[in-house]
Each structure stands twice: as structure tokens, then as C-alpha cells.
Structure 1
């Protein structure tokens, strides 16, 4: 699509919250009128105009920051209004009635309204009764021909082709932690609360191919150093690594047997604080905690033996933020005082050696696609993907790709209609597939952008307009892309009947 001449950055009007939508930002102005997306190329020169923008929440809502029951508790009930006295003669005003909940279109209704060339879609409207407080919708796992997700006390697998439930497994308490990756043969270990919900310490192994529960184990605590109020987990190969406060250990996924302790590094006072998995196992350490110049260490670990393969140390006063990729190793670092206002992308080479540091702030990119640090885990960073020698960064109104070797911006695109742009994966030709999220008025779509920026933009998948409301209501909280299909869920759900919401929606090429 040809880019529009003029300044590459255009102020966006504020947007009106969607009625009965629990995920929409509140207190914002009227929406932009509908119209096709307009693109501007950027990255060829200095910023011409400085503006102030009210940003939409790119991460699909706020993640829970505690190990509690899935997020923030419901607001406390006030003392109420005193009853009128017996001498009061004026009638009380009637209480306002709750608005009728919005109906969620069915898959058949969405597809019946498709136009030629539109994607086909399916939508999940789960009737499960949930608490009114926010409940975290956890990582998406693609196993075989299913997509699996843990929400509240249930893990559910749905068929990719039509969203039909294949199996569902009930758990005795709320899931409070999930690893990003399952094992190569489709096993996973979720962590759920104990009966009192005061600890996140119950390990449950699950076969994601069948939905069968395997072994169960309780994490032990010996003191505050290994508290299980909040835990982090990762799976690499057949090994599960768990960090609980300032201690960490590894377990065999197959039977739950403990393999080894991940050691504290006494030199520098370094304690494990998070883990990342997948093709490699990485352990993050916080060091010199409480000093004026704290720093982080990142260790590459042999998942079978726990042997340290390499170490990387951040500069004093900087900490490791999020791991964007474990192969190659790409992470973010944060200034200890300014945090997400002062961040970098760091690429490591063989042996954990620093390869390149990239500062994406001059081009207007915000930390983790404008979602900030949700605190959910070291591998949960919205709006960033790595592959083909590139790191692609997205955000509220822009997407771009940097070369991991040179640190230079390869291409960049700006949306003048305020669409949030989420890179899904890099593809051949130094290009990337990008999800352009739905707005109040316009459905989402998937586009391919290459080194020519807006001049090489190509539409890959156009979502039907009939799916706009449920798609926008999710604010791209969790995304998965597989076999030319995108799966989208909100980051949080709740059981407020007046705030109807879909739990999952998916789009794939149609068969016109």
C-alpha cells in the first residue's frame, strides 16, 4: 500500500470505550471514523515532529501482578446509602437498571456475513461460571491439530479447524503459572494454588494430546527464600525449571523427580529470579539487590545436567527484562531507575558474548509493544518476535524490524489510523507477518511487510467485518499463529454477566 506523504508521526484522536467491554480502556474520546488503513514509512531520517499521544492498551488488558486468584480482587462493597426516615415524604429515585449484555455472534453468524475474500472464523463463547474478579488467560499451546489454554480451574483443548472442544480437564484450584513451551511430545506442567489459595505450589503434569492428568507434586518451602507466593516456570526438552522466590530447581517432566538445584551465585550476591525455556534453558539472576547499581546475570544451562554453558552480565545499574528468543539469545535490558522508559534490545552471540545493543526508542517503539512489563514472566513480552537475523517490534501504531548483527533498522511502518501492529513471525526475504488488530470500527487483518516498508506491504488475510466486536474486545491479549491461522484471546476474563465477552476467536483463509 503506498505510503502517505508528510510527517511520519500523526497524532491520533482518543477513542470511546466499548459499552459492556471489560477490556477496553476507559475515559477516552470518540472513535476515528472508519476507513482503510494508511501507512507511513519511517526510519529514513530524524523525527520531524514531537507529539503527545494517548495510547491504546496494546497488550489486551492488565496482567495479574500477584500470585492471587487470577488478578485484582473485586472492588469492596461500600457502606451503602442510609434508609429514608419515616418522615421522609419525597420518593427515592429508582435505581438505574443494568444494561442488557451484548450478544456475541456465533461462528455461523460471522461466516454468513463474510464477503468474498474474507477469512473464515470461529468464536468461542464459553458459558463457564467465573468469579467477577479478573482471571488470567494463560499461555496458548499448539499441540497437533489443537490449541490448548488454561483459564481459572480448567485446561481446555479446541480443534484448530473449527474451535470445537476436544477435551477439558478440571483442576481443584486456580491455575497461577504456566510455562510458555510444552515438551516436544506435548506434555506440560501447570502450577495451581493450594486449597487456601495463599500459595502457588501445586504442580500438575498434563498430556496435552489426550487431556489426561499425570503426576502431582507440591513444592516444598523451607523459609522465605523459597516462598511460593509467586513462582515462575519454563520447560526445555523434558526438563521443568521452577523459580520460587530466590531459589530454583529442575524436575523431570516425565515423572516429577527432582534433577538438580539451580545454584545461588554467592559472588555478587546473585539469586535466581526467572527462567526461560524452549530449545534452550536460560536462568536469570538478580545481583547486588538493594544497592545503587544492581545488575543481572543470564546463564545458559544444560537442561539435563544443570551444567552452566555460558554467562552474560548486564552493565551495573541495568537489569535483564524479557527474553525475546532463546535461540539466538535476544533479551531486553532495563535501567534500574528509569525502567521501561530507558530500555534496550540486546543480542548475544556464541558463548553468551555481547553481539549488538539496539536502542529502538528514537523510532518511537515502546517496551513490549506499549504493554510495559506485565510481570507475568520473563518470556511474556507482547509485540516482539525474533527470526531470520531480525528482531521485529510492534506497538500501538507502528511496527519495524532491526538487524541483530548491525543494529540498524531494516524497515518500519506507521499506521495513521491508530491500529495496533503485532509482529507474528519473520519470513523469507527479511519480511514479517504482522497482525493489524481490530479497532472499534474496523476488523483486523494479517499483512506481510518487507524491506520496502509500506511499498512492500501485502494483505495476507482479511478478517470479516462481522467479527469486529468480539475481535476488538480481546485487544490482542494472547496471540498464536500456525498453519496460516491466527488464534486470539483476551489476556483476562471475568464472570460479570453484564460484560459479555468471547473467550477465543480464530481466523484462517476462506474457501471462496
Structure 2
């Protein structure tokens, strides 16, 4: 049967911390209610180990030297910024919650995963919208033969299904020859009747009901940047490398209609100076604006035409290094030209780039992740003191509350890049932040904590149970939708709904036992979506060794 999940082989070991720190800082508890988030020294918990092939990502803050040619993304020499899908739809690192096997730092200086638009955009822009928990009918499971078409003589993945369990709708595999380090496959979008997946140098659209291929786009180079956010009519912007070398610049923007597979305009990202190169980038979408965030620069373009609107290369003051959009709002993350090189959050007009408000972080603090843009919810930390706080800001940029609760929280940004948006372990809706904790004291089970963004107090926690981990997917319509990973590979996971006011979870989808559960549990650092009663899970990297590899799996009624 399916072997346990393994990280891609032949990748260099992770570097040690932000910039040139000698090692990873410790995880910290969030300050208690009423405490100064910039003054308290929290207790620490033991560090888990990082899996091979995942690179720690720096927090956002002080400018770094330009990207080192040939260096893996996230290594010293690259400035941390919201760059990559998660966000993309966050690629959720289940290993962090299920087995605590990745390196995490106070405030996320070691951040892994996809993911994926910030939390409020996860339901809106990323497609994980539980609009209807009763999907249309689907034929029997369609398995893959390595071509990605789902045909061939394969084992029946529903063979071990027990009474009351739902089923695998279809399954896709892929067979790709590539470099020893593998190829990226981070993008996943569910738009209309299509689920679209990145596969190295291609985008492939599948029918959500039966997995039949609808369209395929082949590109001359790898996709190096994407966001799970889309426009209202189902378009998104991806970035391609300008060549096949390890040092190729991530500079080619392309507009894609995800519903039809049609290509729109193609543009080259404007280079702001001689050092403005990057091997990855992260686009962020709001309205008719897409911001392209790279290692030391950020520029906003008009989606309808591809024309440049404004840039973060302002003449003086605090220079934005990233623009992040969501829920019709945009913020800038800027480095200030003072002696302390402090970090500033700015309210930005997405059509003009003008500032409407500013919020200055305390000396030494950086932004680890952006959980939401409207309302603004940020995770900040100090790499030297190991202090951390999760804060909500009002529409005028003034502090509303600092989140506080016992336990340590996953910071799962990056999506294989140094993005800060699209953390796949959080969701925001109705003035509430839902955040996944790390398993405590060696346990497998974790919790989700619901925070009131007005008071900073914890409203409720999901009860601990036999399941190995629980991950927020989307929050809307008065409920939180989450994925409960099974405690063992012989039992399928579940999609559950938790009332916004708290209470016992209701199971919406119970994935089958048997062969299907072994495949489901073997997805390493997967992309997750629950849309219209269907659950989609896919890989974020392919080993590309010429052998059949699991790619994409769909569950439903």
C-alpha cells in the first residue's frame, strides 16, 4: 500500500534562522490579557525538527542583502516578504499539527507551508467556500495511471469504505521527470465547476465532479509565484521564471482565466534597481489591482490591462516592501529609514498607492504573518528577545487588542516561498480569529482557539479528541469549517463544522477507511479546499523522478 509521507529528496538542509542567527529561536506563548506584547518574556517549549527540503522563512522587517544567486528560497540573503500563493492558498503543513515535525519560531521566523490569501480571503478568494454541503452526483472513483488522467487499472480506493463513511470521488497521479530537488506544485484553485492544479511548468483544469481534464496550459518555465486569490470572474495572476536555470528571475507575470484555461496578458515585472531579482515572488489581489511582492521590492499592476499603477520605491520615509490585499482593502508592510530600521504597517489605497494611516511596530519587532487585511490582524515578534504578539488593528490603524491564551500557535506561512499572507492554520470572520495550536506535551491532538478581535480574549477552544490534528479551512455564515486529520492511516479524516459561538463539531464529510485513508494520510504538506460539499487535497511538490506520484484527490458524498 501507500508508503508513509516523505519529503522530497536531495534537498539542502535548512539554514539556521533569520539572516545569520546561529539557530532557531524558541516558540513562545502569547502574552496574557492586558500585558504589553512588546515587554513580556514568555515561556518556551521544545523545538521540533524541520523536515528535509523545507527552508525556514525570515520574518518581515530589516532589509537584507540581495538574493544570493543559486541559493534556495528563504535562505540568508533574501528579504522576508509576502511572496509566494499561499500567499497561496496556504499549503497547510499538517506535519506541524499532526506530528510537530517542522521547525517553528517565535513569531514564525521559521515558517513553512502554503499557503495560500490571508484568512478572510481564504473563503472569498481561495475558493474554500462551503456554499452548499450537498454536492452534485459523481461517478465511481477515477484513479490515476501516472498520466494525470485518472484512468488505468488501479486499486478501488473505496473498497474499504465502512457504513456512514463518504467516498473518494476521483484521484489523480502524475509522472514527471525533473531535477533532483523536484518541481513545485503549489497552486490549487476551485473555481466554478473546475479545480485547477499547478504541475511544474503546467496548469491543469479538472472537472470537480469526475476529475476529467478540461484544459491544460504548458509554460516555458516553472511557476514561481501564485496566490489562491482570484478576481470576481475567476481570473488570477501567476509568475513564471524567465529561464530554466536555478538562478532564473521570477519576473514573468501572466493573467489566467481559471474557468476556461485562457491566457490573458503577459508582462515582465519592472526591475527597480540592479539588485531587484528574486527566485520566487508573491502576487496579492484586491479588486482590479495585483501587487507583485519580491525579495526587496513591491509593485502594483492593473489586472485588467497589466499596466503598472504604483510602486513601493517611494522617495523617502518608510518604504513598502510588500503590498497585501484582501476584502477590498490593502495594507503596505514598510521598512523605515530611521536608525532602528523599524517596521511600519500602512493603510493603502489599492488604486493609487496613497497612505491613509500608519502603525509603527516597536523597535526590533517584525511581522511574521498577516492573518487578515480587513480587519487587520498581524502576528509580530522580536527575533532577539523571542517575544511575540498577535494584534488586531482598527480601520484607523490604532491597536484594538492583543490576542492572549495559553498554548503555542502554528505560524504556517511561506507556501514554499517567503510569503506572510495565506497562513493555512488560521481563519478570520465576524471579528473572530481562529488559530490552530501546536500539540502539547508530545500529544498528537491539537486545538483551534477562537479569539475575539475586539477584546483579545479567547472565546472558546475546540475540544481535544482522538484525532491527530485539526486545521481551520474557512470561516463564514456563522461557522468555522475545519479539517480533522485522522489519528491513524487506516481511518479517514473528517470535514467538520463548528458554530461561531462554539460548541461540538458537526461532521460534514467523513472520508473513507481502507486504501483511501492510506493515500489521504500520505499527502505531505498538502493544499486543502472544501467547496460545495467536496474536499480537495493535493501535493505542493513533486519528486519528479519519472515514477507515478499522487497529485490530487477529491472526496464527497
Tell me the distance in 2 between the aligned counterparts of 1:247 and 1:51: 34
- Give CA deviations for 1:124-178 in whole Å, capped at 9, x if unaligned: 1123434331333223222211122323101111222222221110010011111
* Match for residue 312 of structure 1 among 359, 371, 382: 359
Tell me the distance in 1 between the aligned counterparts of 2:519 and 2:469: 16
| SS at structure 1 position matched to 2:505 | strand
Deviation at 1:497, TM superposition (A): 4.9
Matches within 5 A, 1:116-135: 116-121=163-168, 122-135=170-183
| SS at structure 2 position matched to 1:501 | strand
Matches within 5 A, 1:424-435: 424-427=473-476, 431-435=479-483
Residues 472, 482 of structure 2: 8 Å contact kept: yes
Shift in alpha-carbon separation, 1:155–1:308, aligned structure 2, 3 A: same
2:545 is aligned to 496
Tell me the distance in 1 between the aligned counterparts of 2:161 and 2:69: 42
Deviation at 1:256, TM superposition (A): 1.4
Paired residues, number:
427
* Match for residue 211 of structure 2 among 134, 139, 163: 163
| 1:352 equivalenced with 2:397 (yes/no) | yes
Tell me the distance in 1 between the aligned counterparts of 2:251 and 2:345: 25
Tell me the distance in 2 between the aligned counterparts of 1:196 and 1:125: 24
Tell me the distance in 2 between the aligned counterparts of 1:147 and 1:163: 8
Tell me the distance in 1 between the aligned counterparts of 2:530 and 2:393: 26
Matches within 5 A, 1:381-392: 381-392=423-434
- Give CA deviations for 1:182-221 in whole Å, capped at 9, x if unaligned: 2212222211111253211111221212111222222243
1:213 is aligned to 263
Moved more, 134-143 or 486-495: 134-143
- Give CA deviations for 1:257-288 in whole Å, capped at 9, x if unaligned: 22223343732xx3322232232222211335
| SS at structure 2 position matched to 1:111 | coil
2:54 is aligned to 62
Deviation at 1:117, TM superposition (A): 2.1
Tell me the distance in 1 between the aligned counterparts of 2:53 and 2:539: 7
| 1:233 equivalenced with 2:283 (yes/no) | yes
Shift in alpha-carbon separation, 1:51–1:182, aligned structure 2, 3 A: closer
TM-score for the superposition, normalised by structure 1: 0.73
- Give CA deviations for 1:362-391 in whole Å, capped at 9, x if unaligned: 2232333xx799653121312111112211
| 1:506 equivalenced with 2:554 (yes/no) | yes
Residues 182, 545 of structure 2: 8 Å contact kept: no
Give structure 1 stretches of 5+ with no counterpart.
Answer: 1-16, 25-42, 44-49, 73-101
Shift in alpha-carbon separation, 1:19–1:357, aligned structure 2, 3 A: closer
Residues 252, 258 of structure 1: 8 Å contact kept: yes
Tell me the distance in 1 between the aligned counterparts of 2:313 and 2:218: 35
Shift in alpha-carbon separation, 1:306–1:125, aligned structure 2, 3 A: same
Shift in alpha-carbon separation, 1:376–1:247, aligned structure 2, 3 A: closer
| 1:295 equivalenced with 2:342 (yes/no) | yes
Matches within 5 A, 1:247-286: 247-264=297-314, 266-267=316-317, 270-279=318-327, 280-286=329-335
Residues 177, 191 of structure 1: 8 Å contact kept: yes
| SS at structure 2 position matched to 1:345 | strand
Residues 187, 207 of structure 1: 8 Å contact kept: yes
| SS at structure 1 position matched to 2:232 | coil
Matches within 5 A, 1:317-336: 317-336=364-383
Tell me the distance in 2 between the aligned counterparts of 1:298 and 1:352: 8
Residues 6, 524 of structure 2: 8 Å contact kept: no
Tell me the distance in 1 between the aligned counterparts of 2:184 and 2:408: 29
* Match for residue 365 of structure 1 among 403, 409, 413: 409
| SS at structure 2 position matched to 1:109 | coil
Moved more, 318-327 or 275-284: 275-284
- Give CA deviations for 1:405-427 in whole Å, capped at 9, x if unaligned: 11111111354546121011235
Residues 370, 379 of structure 2: 8 Å contact kept: yes
TM-score for the superposition, normalised by structure 2: 0.68
Residues 487, 504 of structure 1: 8 Å contact kept: yes
Tell me the distance in 2 between the aligned counterparts of 1:167 and 1:161: 15
- Give CA deviations for 1:337-386 in whole Å, capped at 9, x if unaligned: 25xx54322111122221111134x2232333xx7996531213121111
Matches within 5 A, 1:19-58: 19=4, 21-22=6-7
| SS at structure 2 position matched to 1:126 | strand
1:32 is aligned to none
Shift in alpha-carbon separation, 1:228–1:307, aligned structure 2, 3 A: same
| SS at structure 1 position matched to 2:519 | helix
Moved more, 460-469 or 114-123: 114-123
Deviation at 1:64, TM superposition (A): 8.6
Shift in alpha-carbon separation, 1:450–1:257, aligned structure 2, 3 A: closer
Matches within 5 A, 1:100-139: 109-121=156-168, 122-139=170-187
1:411 is aligned to 460
Residues 538, 552 of structure 2: 8 Å contact kept: yes
Tell me the distance in 2 between the aligned counterparts of 1:150 and 1:413: 33
Give structure 2 stretches of 5+ with no counterpart.
Answer: 10-31, 33-42, 58-66, 74-143, 439-445
Residues 167, 211 of structure 1: 8 Å contact kept: yes
Residues 138, 150 of structure 1: 8 Å contact kept: yes
Tell me the distance in 1 between the aligned counterparts of 2:460 and 2:162: 32
Once superposed, which parts of structure 1, at least 4 consecutive aligned residues long, lie more than 4 Å away?
A: 17-20, 50-57, 63-72, 102-108, 371-375, 450-453
Moved more, 374-383 or 211-220: 374-383
Tell me the distance in 2 between the aligned counterparts of 1:244 and 1:285: 13
2:516 is aligned to 467
Residues 224, 279 of structure 2: 8 Å contact kept: no
Tell me the distance in 2 between the aligned counterparts of 1:70 and 1:458: 46
Q: Which structure is larger by alpha-carbon Rg, 1 or 2?
A: 1
